[in-house]
Structure 1
Amino acid sequence: MHSAQTPPVPIEQLKGSLPVVDIDPEVDAKAIATSVLQKFPVFSESTFIEDGIWRDLYALTSTFRTLFSRQSIIEAWTKLSEKYKPSSFQIATDRVSIEHAPPGGPPCSWIQAPFTFTTATTPSRTCSGAACIIPDSDNLWKIWCLMTVLESVEGFGDVDHLEPEADAQDLPLPSPVSSNASVHSLSWSASAKPPSSTNHFDCIIIGAGQSSLNTAGRMKALGASAVILEQNAHIGQNWLFRYRSLHLHTPVRYSTLAFTHVYPKDAPYFLHGADVGRGLQYFAQRYGIDVRTSSHIGSATWDEVKKEWSVNFTQNGGTPQTFHTPHLVLSMGHGGQIPKYPSIPNQAAFTGEIMHSLWAGKRAVIIGAANTAHDIARDMVDAGLAPVTMVQRRPTTVIRMDPKGNLFSRLYREGFPTESADRAMLSTPTVVRRLLTLRATEMFQRMTPDYYERLEGMGFRIDKNADIWQCLYERIGGHHIDVGVGEKVAQGLIKVKSGTPIASFKKDGLVFEDGSELEADVIIFATGFENSMRDRAADILGDEIADGLDGYYGLDEEGELRGVWKYTGHPGLFYAGGDFGHARFYSRFLALRMKANLMGVSFEEYTEKP
């Protein structure tokens, strides 16, 4: 029984709303921001609107918190201000701006005022933030939404900067991968750094994906040691060898790692999977990340007296080894990359091959209609295979990702720092980010109505209430961000079987509940992966510890991700996970937290619910 799990809350039930305000573009935004924030750090009831929102990312709460209502904000802010004594407040007046929600729906605008401050603690914290200011019903300017972000801690080092290894200063970026490249030629030729001879590290990370590499890099930037234990033989192997048509469905500038861009300037807007794998390898070599590949974890045990983990593993099938650390990070992908198979009766009757997309890449009927299914279907069509059929079990959230304009392009673009883009997107309260994204999605849908009509005309069922953040945080998939494959569906090059459940297998295919049949030589399950990191944790840590851990992903009542990048319910144990943007941004906070523990600095979480 998982007793410590935070109850998940559906994203549509989160508190908070967008303001219905149309701010005159001629107002003196800088003067208004200065007036509203002049009494910082003393905030009173006249500072916030009644249903104001404050999101803090480790600045004062030492965790991720979102508070709703003026009363709750003032109560928490007052108590935390007494403890941390924020001071040296400065508004970045040159960056004060009037912002607007995407068009469509009621008018929505606000004055956004970036600022910085420090805390009068030992050691001091340097923080950034932004106040979103609107007029209330009496035309008095007040804060609608406040964001505060921990940037650095005195004496810790710079978590956002790491110099390359001396012998990697001029390391060339890997060239873009041809879509026709042999799958066995995709691994980038990178010389591994000789491993450290120690068996004690400040942090041990299990898994070598983007979350792990970002975290290890951030720890190294803070002068702390980290080692990654990876079960595969190559860094980035899941990206390199899964299936030829694997692509990212987010733009290249969103999909990089900390400190530097790991892809060449001529990299495609939507990266080939092998580009990603080679980028991960490049990052590891450039920054000298200690990665032990072909490492198979046996177990990990906690010593309550020493406050230390002992991690038992073998590498390349050799002699068992034990590493020790005060911080263990589980970063094995959602559910440890264990394929999820739907239950379909009479499987033994099917005489062809049944595969999961993890191993697939040849002609077949594909069960699933999200990103992976579309990628595989495109691969088959491009190879001249026919017919290619996707079996769609439920309506799919579809978001068209046009390089000329999409949900990411305003922030993640040439000339705008990735660090600034991350803060603008990911420090925003989840409820606000979701509502703004819904408006943007609706705007793009209105711009291309024929696109969706053509898909539906081919039998592809679309979830019209496209909610990308719900897909990412609750379902952890099940959506299709279209980077061009939808056109093949609209043209009939990829067939769709939808509207009726699968009844059973038959000798040469599938039988559906309406009596129809679909013949197949190979059936591929593009049905995602298990989402329970706690079940994977139990395999390593044992049931007793795993039963005390929080859930992984899904949202709490404040809109914060459960469990990940923060306290899990056990000392020295953390989850890390998410797409490239989340891994890049949130890894900085986990690294600062672990460094604080190494330095004996209190990072006591604010857990009260005012």
Structure 2
Amino acid sequence: MDSEDFYAISAEWLQRLQVASSTGDSTSFVSQFLSDGWLRDLLCFSWNFRTLSGLEQIHGFLSEVVDGKPRLEHSGLRDFKLDDHTANAPSPFKLPGPQGMEGVQGAFTFTITKPAAFGRGFFRLTQDADGEWKALTLFTNMQDLVGNEESSANQHGLYEGRKMTWEEDIEAKFRAIEADPTVLIVGGGQAGLMSAARLSRLGIRALVIEKNASVGDSWRQRYPNLTLHTPAYQSSMLYSPYPTTFPKYIPKGKLANFLDSYAVNQELCIWLSSSVASTPVYNPSSARWTVEVQRGDQKIFLNPKHLVLAIGSGSPRFPTWNGMNEFQGALYHSDFHRDAEQFRGKRVVVVGAGNASADICQDFVAHGAAEVTMIQRSATCVTSSAAAEKTHFRSPFPDGTPIEELDFRNNSMPLSLLLQLQISGGAQHMKMLDKELHDGLREAGFNLTWELSPGSGEVGLEGFLFKRLSSGSMLDIGCGKLIVEGRVKIKQGQLISHFERDGIAFKDGSKLSADVIVIATGNEPIIKTAKALLGNDIIARLLSPEVLGLDSEGELNQVYRPSGHPGLWFASGPFAISRFFSKHLALQILARELDIA
């Protein structure tokens, strides 16, 4: 088939979908799907994120009564038009796995009747048993509310009638935000900054409070050899790609400096050295929070309508074993690793076998530690950066295509289907690419897995990312080679007995001598930090005991979507998640401000 065929197939199917939607015929609408098709909807049919699998679930969702009408009729999606002038114009696709499902994919635009909004969709079509083209997946995504579209215009510059300088204009803007913030964002990392930037483009007053003295310190203060493990273009910030002179994998100090400049360039109102001083209180009558903020040596009370927790990873998870107080060497969590050089010639033990452990082991080897041993307490999912480049990080688009097009296509895939594809062959393909590395790791005594639990199916990198927030996985950027070469030794340590003055003892009777022990066991769940901040009563009202991870439909738990408590939101996740879903957070807050949600 050529491009004209792809267009014709897409246009014919889309016309049938348009007729069904415009007439509110949910039966006809659902008939445009394969029997095992998927619908992923972000804010078009409800003010939430939903993923439905199979005709019965999709039909049930679209038939639910909303304000006296079936959901499909109530939402009133209209004006379907192929989006054939972008990188997501109709094209062929092939999914991973032994079945190698193939078909036609593409984007389209539409309008929504209630609320009045613009939307954009993405479809993947394959032929059913009768040769008819049907949807394997359909993605519907709200883009903007009519009359309140996201501004892309430069608000400053030379134009007739200018009464204030840029500096005066910004100062006035900040004064207005500080006097009455509509949204208070707790946390000035990448999620908080991108959420604030997105809200600003929609005209919503957002104030960010950051506990550190400078924007970027949450990265700047981490271990010295840390770099991003994903390429720069995939880890870019909203509205602001990194300079082309940046390396592919950005060092943490360079990233921290960029975040600092980002806050300035996006004109974000931020209070530094500021934190929540006492438990926030929500008043349902006024629909406002009372938040006491400690700003330097001042205590200030704010009354925002919305509280967004962009608090990043939780506090260090530090397991305890008997005898830890008796250990005579250096003992600390990986979050506090700063200077490997001071331990040159020393024996080092790192407890844990994930990304932080791998980075820190590399740091000790590079700085001449006498011996470095990684204690692996459970099997790890290892993917090399080279394999990830081939399967995950290589953009399907030409250079210069906006990252938003890649975000849109990537998020059009239901996450539950993505994990199914991994089980049916995607993870196996990844393993083949890394066969030499994996064989070497096994020979060195390193245990590997691609399953979240025994017998649950090999979900690989995606499963560990979305289900476990990458815990239990390693995106290898060099430590694997050190393990294979024996420069980082492996000790299976799921049965640690206790610590001694000069090392660690195991329940099998073996011992491991050490001058330095680093605990690289990750961080506590975000919900634990939220509970300490908000208290038990507010946490009890949340829809889920988790933040991030996946819900029963395969959608991200509570981030950038309703939490269950009015006016409370969570913003968290890797760069790509924050970049894409910050728009959905902003749209939901805007809709509430317009009283249409």
Shorter-chain TM-score above 0.5: yes
Q: Quick check: 1:216 aligned with 2:193?
A: no
The Cα shift of 1:74 comes to 3.0
Counterpart for residue 355 of structure 1 = 332
Are residues 203 and 571 of structure 1, via their aligned partners in 2, closer, same or farther at CA, if it must alter by over 3 Å? Answer: same
Distance in 2 (CA, whole Å) between partners of 1:404 and 1:51 is 31
Secondary structure of 1:445's counterpart equals: helix
Counterpart for residue 218 of structure 2 = 238
Are residues 333 and 396 of structure 1, via their aligned partners in 2, closer, same or farther at CA, if it must alter by over 3 Å? Answer: same
Counterpart for residue 497 of structure 1 = 491
Residue 199 of structure 2 aligns to which amino acid in structure 1? M
Counterpart for residue 564 of structure 2 = 569
The Cα shift of 1:512 comes to 1.1
Deviations 1:61-120 (A, max 9, x none): 221101122133234335223112211111235611110023x51221121132110023
Gaps of 5+ in 1: 1-23, 168-192, 604-610
In the TM superposition, what are the counterparts of 1:485-564 in structure 2 within 5 Å? 485-498=479-492, 500-533=494-527, 535-550=528-543, 551=545, 552-564=547-559
Which residue of 450, 453, 456 corresponds with 2:442? 456
Secondary structure of 2:106's counterpart equals: strand
Counterpart for residue 39 of structure 1 = 16
Counterpart for residue 387 of structure 1 = 371
Q: Quick check: 1:108 aligned with 2:101?
A: yes
Secondary structure of 1:320's counterpart equals: strand
**Identity value in percent:** 30
The Cα shift of 1:259 comes to 0.7
Deviates more, 1:353-362 or 1:410-419: 410-419
Asked if structure 1 preserves the Cα contact closer than 8 Å seen for 2:349 and 2:518, the reply is: yes
Residue 142 of structure 1 aligns to which amino acid in structure 2? K
Which residue of 286, 300, 305 corresponds with 2:265? 286
Secondary structure of 1:76's counterpart equals: helix
The structure, 1 or 2, with the larger RCO (C-alpha pairs under 8 Å, 6+ apart) is 1
Residue 568 of structure 2 aligns to which amino acid in structure 1? L
Are residues 466 and 567 of structure 1, via their aligned partners in 2, closer, same or farther at CA, if it must alter by over 3 Å? Answer: closer
Counterpart for residue 142 of structure 2 = 150
Distance in 1 (CA, whole Å) between partners of 2:232 and 2:575 is 10
Distance in 2 (CA, whole Å) between partners of 1:470 and 1:497 is 26
Which residue of 580, 589, 593 corresponds with 1:594? 589
Asked if structure 1 preserves the Cα contact closer than 8 Å seen for 2:316 and 2:524, the reply is: yes
**Aligned-pair Cα RMSD in Å:** 2.2
Distance in 2 (CA, whole Å) between partners of 1:162 and 1:396 is 47
Asked if structure 2 preserves the Cα contact closer than 8 Å seen for 1:199 and 1:322, the reply is: no
The Cα shift of 1:442 comes to 2.7
Which residue of 542, 566, 573 corresponds with 1:578? 573
Counterpart for residue 401 of structure 1 = 385
Q: Quick check: 1:84 aligned with 2:75?
A: yes
Secondary structure of 1:343's counterpart equals: coil
Distance in 2 (CA, whole Å) between partners of 1:282 and 1:65 is 36
Asked if structure 2 preserves the Cα contact closer than 8 Å seen for 1:254 and 1:412, the reply is: no
Asked if structure 2 preserves the Cα contact closer than 8 Å seen for 1:567 and 1:574, the reply is: yes
Asked if structure 2 preserves the Cα contact closer than 8 Å seen for 1:239 and 1:273, the reply is: yes
Asked if structure 1 preserves the Cα contact closer than 8 Å seen for 2:375 and 2:491, the reply is: yes
Asked if structure 2 preserves the Cα contact closer than 8 Å seen for 1:505 and 1:511, the reply is: yes
Deviations 1:32-53 (A, max 9, x none): 2222221333151532222221
Asked if structure 2 preserves the Cα contact closer than 8 Å seen for 1:270 and 1:483, the reply is: no
Q: Quick check: 1:55 aligned with 2:49?
A: no
Counterpart for residue 468 of structure 1 = 461
Deviations 1:237-287 (A, max 9, x none): 1211211011211111111111121x3212221221112212211210111
The Cα shift of 1:466 comes to 5.4
Secondary structure of 1:536's counterpart equals: helix
Asked if structure 1 preserves the Cα contact closer than 8 Å seen for 2:379 and 2:472, the reply is: no
Residue 459 of structure 1 aligns to which amino acid in structure 2? G
Residue 438 of structure 2 aligns to which amino acid in structure 1? Y
Q: Quick check: 1:264 aligned with 2:243?
A: yes
Asked if structure 2 preserves the Cα contact closer than 8 Å seen for 1:407 and 1:441, the reply is: no
Residue 281 of structure 1 aligns to which amino acid in structure 2? D
Counterpart for residue 172 of structure 1 = none
Residue 346 of structure 1 aligns to which amino acid in structure 2? G
Deviations 1:360-386 (A, max 9, x none): 133431111100011111111111222
Distance in 2 (CA, whole Å) between partners of 1:347 and 1:521 is 13
Distance in 2 (CA, whole Å) between partners of 1:472 and 1:349 is 37
Are residues 276 and 347 of structure 1, via their aligned partners in 2, closer, same or farther at CA, if it must alter by over 3 Å? Answer: same
In the TM superposition, what are the counterparts of 1:364-375 in structure 2 within 5 Å? 364-375=348-359
Counterpart for residue 254 of structure 2 = 275
Distance in 2 (CA, whole Å) between partners of 1:536 and 1:486 is 33
Which residue of 303, 316, 326 corresponds with 1:324? 303
**TM-score (norm: length of structure 2):** 0.87
Deviations 1:382-432 (A, max 9, x none): 112221111111111111112852412134873232001111112310022
Distance in 2 (CA, whole Å) between partners of 1:478 and 1:369 is 7
The Cα shift of 1:296 comes to 2.4
Asked if structure 2 preserves the Cα contact closer than 8 Å seen for 1:164 and 1:286, the reply is: no
The Cα shift of 1:578 comes to 0.3
The Cα shift of 1:163 comes to 4.1
Residue 472 of structure 1 aligns to which amino acid in structure 2? L
Residue 309 of structure 2 aligns to which amino acid in structure 1? L
In the TM superposition, what are the counterparts of 1:68-217 in structure 2 within 5 Å? 68-77=53-62, 79-93=70-84, 95-102=89-96, 104-121=97-114, 124-158=116-150, 161=152, 163=154, 196=175, 198-217=178-197
**TM-score (norm: length of structure 1):** 0.85
Asked if structure 1 preserves the Cα contact closer than 8 Å seen for 2:81 and 2:108, the reply is: yes
Distance in 2 (CA, whole Å) between partners of 1:498 and 1:256 is 37
Deviations 1:336-371 (A, max 9, x none): x31101232221221222201111133431111100
Distance in 2 (CA, whole Å) between partners of 1:286 and 1:240 is 19
The Cα shift of 1:445 comes to 2.4
Higher helix content, 1 or 2: 2
Deviations 1:530-578 (A, max 9, x none): 0142x32233322211211133122221101111111111111001100
Distance in 1 (CA, whole Å) between partners of 2:310 and 2:157 is 28
The Cα shift of 1:146 comes to 0.7
The Cα shift of 1:124 comes to 1.9
Are residues 547 and 76 of structure 1, via their aligned partners in 2, closer, same or farther at CA, if it must alter by over 3 Å? Answer: closer
Distance in 1 (CA, whole Å) between partners of 2:154 and 2:239 is 9
Are residues 557 and 592 of structure 1, via their aligned partners in 2, closer, same or farther at CA, if it must alter by over 3 Å? Answer: same
Deviates more, 1:575-584 or 1:104-113: 104-113
Residue 268 of structure 1 aligns to which amino acid in structure 2? P
